[in-house]
Amino acid sequence: MNESIHKFFRVGTLQWMSFPDKDPIDSLIQIACDDFFDAVEVKGYSNASEQTQAAKLLNQSHLTVCYGAQPLELANGLNPNAIDEDERKKAEEALLHTIDEAHFLGAEGISFLAGKWTPEHRNEAFSQLLKTTRTLCDYAKTKGMMVELEIFDYDVDKASLMGPAPYAAQFAAEMRMTHNNFGLLVDLSHIPITHESSEFVVRTLRPYITHFHIGNAVVKEGCDGYGDKHPGFGYPESANDTDELRDFFQVLKNEGFFNAAKPYVLSIEVTPRPGENSDIVLASTKRVIRRAWALVE
């Protein structure tokens, strides 16, 4: 592509993934000072002081702010599709609180993931997730915010109820019958571990996608970083590098996602492996993005 990626996408990064070991305020300043980024995705801050500092920094940054509730869910074992109603309500209440924090930080919405499931209770879990998501969308709508469900693997690592892509499309169709502030978040990192292709996922979910992540995964069992660990592009024995990212960009172009009037958020989701340097991994990812983008026809 001769035109800049920034014309068609708000390029961001996930703060907690890019800088897992750095002070959250320091890393937020680093991202805000990097004019490669148009967006930043944050998670909850540990105390009111950090939250207030972050809100002030974000307010002056001219960055689009997104809020990821996934770390909260994973750290606390929250399951928004739990069959046990008390467990479902516990997840729902926690996610409702993230909407408040996201709003305080100036975020456009929240993203979250579905929880664990078992084959014998899949239909019940689907109904429970609908119940939770509709409650979240109702509350988010009062604040003018979106709710986005990220598609994860269903049988490898996180073993989330959503995907694969056709099942996620079924869920999104049900949600859109009642709520127009719901969307799906597609992550290139997860496509190899849902045993699908970029073209299949994007075409299947086309009407419902509102947000993108890009990254990598190791799909060979027994190899370092196996599963949903988000290593940098080109990591040994991994699935995604420059060619795969180019293909992903090409699919997005072909399917009409290059929208200069209202660019989608497209965020980096890579994290350093043990012994790696966060700054180098992030810089490497930018190089891959530039090269892959240049090869799009």
**pLDDT (tens digit, 9 = 90+) per residue, 79-138?**
999 999 999 999 999 999 999 999 999 999 999 999 999 999 999 999 999 999 999 999
pLDDT of residue 164: 95
What is the share, in percent, of the chain residues with pLDDT greater than 90? 99
Q: Model confidence at 220, in pLDDT bands (50, 70, 90)?
A: very high
pLDDT of residue 100: 98
Contact 110, 41 (CB under 8 A): no
Q: End-to-end CA distance of the chain, in Å?
A: 6
CATH topology of domain 5-294: TIM Barrel (3.20.20)
Q: Model confidence at 78, in pLDDT bands (50, 70, 90)?
A: very high
Query: Mean pLDDT over residues 65-84, rounded?
Result: 98
pLDDT of residue 226: 96
Q: Model confidence at 231, in pLDDT bands (50, 70, 90)?
A: very high
What residue spans define the domains of the chain? 5-294
Q: Could you report the per-residue pLDDT of 132-176, keeping only the tens digit for each?
A: 999 999 999 999 999 999 999 999 999 999 989 999 999 999 999
Contact 207, 170 (CB under 8 A): no
Nearest partner of 186 among 272, 251, 139, judged by Cα: 251
CB atoms within 10 A of CB 237: 13
Q: Which residues contact 72 (CB under 8 A, 6 or more apart)?
A: 43, 44, 78, 94, 98
